[in-house]
Amino acid sequence: MPVESIRLESGFGGGEHLIHRAAANPQTGFIGVEPFVNSMAKLLARIEELGLRNIRLYDDDAVLVLDWLPDACIDHIDLLYPDPWPKKKHWKRRFVSDVNLQRFHRVLKPGGLFCFASDIDTYVNWVLQHIDRHNGFAWTARNASDWLTPFEDWPGTRYEAKARREGRSSAYLSFRKT
């Protein structure tokens, strides 16, 4: 079945968000990228159980997919609760970087969205600084409640639930390609 739009989720973890979005949006094609075998196996079982046909998976580094994709082919990119690499000496390993923002910008269609969620303040600040420096994305928030409110039709994730149990709030950032 042909799709009307394409959405990529990098590092889908247990796949709860990806499954929810794919089931709710059969007209959208989803690309899920996750290097961990257990996460991949869990998601494959759910895809089969639900009979979803609008998901394609890649079981390696998302950078390889981003470099392979043609220009302006993706409508939406989700990066939800990525590894925060909390120690300052490891920040260079964070997935949001100048080079990866350039990759996102290249593959997103004009007006496409990049959505990021995290409960780690230093990573949220990191993303905002990198986005500001990149200059190819506009933050869609109009007031503080916009980035404190989960994305529309948000199913939640196990990482979000863990953060809440541990007393941390989350930020939900949306950026439109300019």
As annotated, the active-site residues are 83
Specify the DSSP element, H or E, that contains 116.
strand 108-118
The number of beta carbons lying within 10 Å of the beta carbon of residue 120 is 19
Nearest to 124 by CA among 67, 71, 172, 55: 172
With 0-12 / 13-18 / 19 or more C-beta atoms within 10 angstroms meaning exposed / middle / buried, residue 133 is exposed
The answer to whether 75 touches 110, Cβ cutoff 8 Å, is no
What b/e sequence results for 49-79 when a residue is b if at least 16 CB atoms lie within 10 Å of its CB, and e otherwise? eeebebbebbeeebeebbeebeeeebbbbbb
Distances (CA, A) of 129 to 56, 97, 113, 139: 32, 10, 17, 11
Residue 66 and residue 82: Cα distance in Å, rounded? 16
